[in-house]
């Protein structure tokens, strides 16, 4: 039995062993990085399992939102202490590029998932760990969390999308500061600069993230998915193209039964019953 074991063991995305565990409860999949002896460092094997876990979660109709966290069995609280340095030290340049592409593909799939995701950053989120947190749609952190991109101290650069997501989240100046110094920030500072959405006492973090995710999982599924889509696709489009994407999705969502149900329920002063059609 693993951490956060849910009450819903017949759903298809559940994983009870391996380097990436998945439990499901109340429509929320909790993904736990499970490599405690290495502070959940993201080896190619971990990334491979994470890729498959995300694909399963995306395909599982019982799941409406996702929480990602790190095993609590680490000797110090860790979300993920980065890409696996012991593995990378042996890589050639071409293998480094392949590794970067594996991480990028995995995190891009997570970001593009139609179900909202929350990183519950329960400790160290360094290098690839911070990049994984940034690929989630939201980040909640424990008060003991430490986030950063220390790659420069190893003579490398972020390779799992961090050089691009960090400036989009905190602005170019702050991103340069973090990327060029390699210095981590604590949870309070990460919150101040917009790197994390919320900060909780460590013992309350995962439950708080799961509670919020449960709320999101209960929202109108078509509108929820479209909101994720429009924000992601609009962010890098020019303003005119982004507005066009919004109007198209507004129309697409507007044709659903759920829109009629949502508006009728409002007018009839009752709770809407979403069907996802
Ligand atoms: N890759 C591979 N192994 C890692 C790792 C990583 N990114 N981060 C931690 N580990 C391993 C350590 O090698 C150690 O393994 P060992 O017990 O077999 O020696 C184990 O996890 C525990 O880490 P340790 O360094 O002993 O813990 P600590 O409490 O002294 O320090 C950190 C914690 C996070 C400060 C330290 O582990 C660290 O600096 N890690 C690397 C962070 C980093 O540069 N990440 C970016 C990588 S691109």
Q: Where are the alpha helices (DSSP H) in the chain?
A: 44-59, 85-88, 93-112, 128-135, 162-170, 172-181, 187-192, 205-217, 221-235, 239-254, 257-267
Pick the closest to residue 46 from 119, 102, 109, 124 (CA basis).
102
List, for residues 35-78, the tens digit of each pLDDT value: 999 999 999 999 999 999 999 999 999 999 999 999 999 999 99
Backbone angles phi, psi at 219, to 5 degrees: -80, 165
Taking the C-alpha atoms of residue 11 and residue 20, their distance in angstroms, rounded to an integer, is 16
Pocket of ligand 1, candidates 81, 83, 147: which has the most ligand atoms within 8 Å of its Cβ, to mutate? 81
Residue-level pLDDT at 236: 87
Residues near ligand 1 (Cβ within 6 A): 38-39, 41, 76, 81-86, 124, 126-127, 150-151, 154
- Positive/negative CA dihedral, 35, 69, 101, 155: negative
- Rounded to the nearest whole angstrom, what is the distance from the C-alpha of residue 219 to the centroid of ligand 1? 39
Mean per-residue pLDDT, 164-187: 98
**Does 131 participate in catalysis according to the annotation?**
yes
List, for residues 204-235, the tens digit of each pLDDT value: 999 999 999 999 999 999 999 999 999 999 99
| Residue 6 predicted with pLDDT over 70 | no
Q: Quick one: pLDDT band at residue 1, thresholds 50, 70, 90?
A: very low
Atom of ligand 1 nearest to the CA of 149: 46
DSSP label of 153: G
**Does 17 participate in catalysis according to the annotation?**
no
Pocket of ligand 1, candidates 70, 79, 82: which has the most ligand atoms within 8 Å of its Cβ, to mutate? 82
Residue-level pLDDT at 7: 47
DSSP label of 72: T
Per the residue annotation, which of 3, 151, 261, 268 is the catalytic one? Answer: 151
Q: Which pair of structure tokens corresponds to residue 209?
A: 């993230």
- Rounded to the nearest whole angstrom, what is the distance from the C-alpha of residue 101 to the centroid of ligand 1? 23
Atom of ligand 1 nearest to the CA of 86: 2
Yes or no: say if 79 and 70 are a contact pair by the CB < 8 Å rule: yes
Residue-level pLDDT at 4: 46
């Amino acid at each position: 039995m693993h951490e956060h074991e849910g009450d819903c063991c017949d759903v298809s995305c559940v994983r009870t062993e391996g380097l990436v565990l998945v439990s499901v409860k109340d429509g929320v999949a909790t993904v736990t990085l499970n490599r405690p002896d290495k502070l959940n460092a993201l080896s190619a094997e971990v990334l491979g399992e994470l890729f498959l876990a995300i694909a399963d979660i995306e395909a599982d109709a019982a799941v409406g939102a996702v929480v990602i966290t790190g095993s609590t069995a680490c000797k110090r609280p860790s979300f993920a202490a980065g890409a696996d340095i012991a593995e990378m030290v042996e890589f050639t340049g071409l293998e480094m590029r392949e590794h970067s592409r594996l991480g990028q593909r995995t995190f891009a799939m997570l970001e593009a998932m139609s179900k909202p995701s929350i990183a519950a950053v329960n400790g160290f989120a360094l290098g690839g760990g911070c990049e994984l947190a940034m690929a989630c749609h939201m980040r909640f952190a424990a008060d003991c969390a430490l986030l950063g991109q220390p790659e420069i101290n190893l003579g490398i650069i972020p390779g799992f999308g961090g050089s691009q997501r960090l400036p989009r989240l905190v602005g170019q100046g702050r991103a340069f500061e973090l990327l060029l110094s390699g210095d981590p920030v604590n949870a309070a500072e990460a919150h101040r600069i917009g790197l994390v959405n919320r900060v909780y006492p460590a013992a309350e973090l995962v439950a708080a993230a799961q509670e919020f995710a449960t709320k999101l999982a209960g929202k109108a599924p078509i509108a929820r998915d479209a909101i994720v889509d429009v924000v992601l696709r609009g962010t890098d489009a020019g303003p005119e193209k982004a507005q066009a994407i919004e109007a198209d999705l507004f129309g697409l969502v507007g044709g659903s039964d759920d829109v009629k149900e949502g508006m009728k329920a409002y007018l009839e002063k009752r709770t809407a019953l979403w069907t996802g059609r």
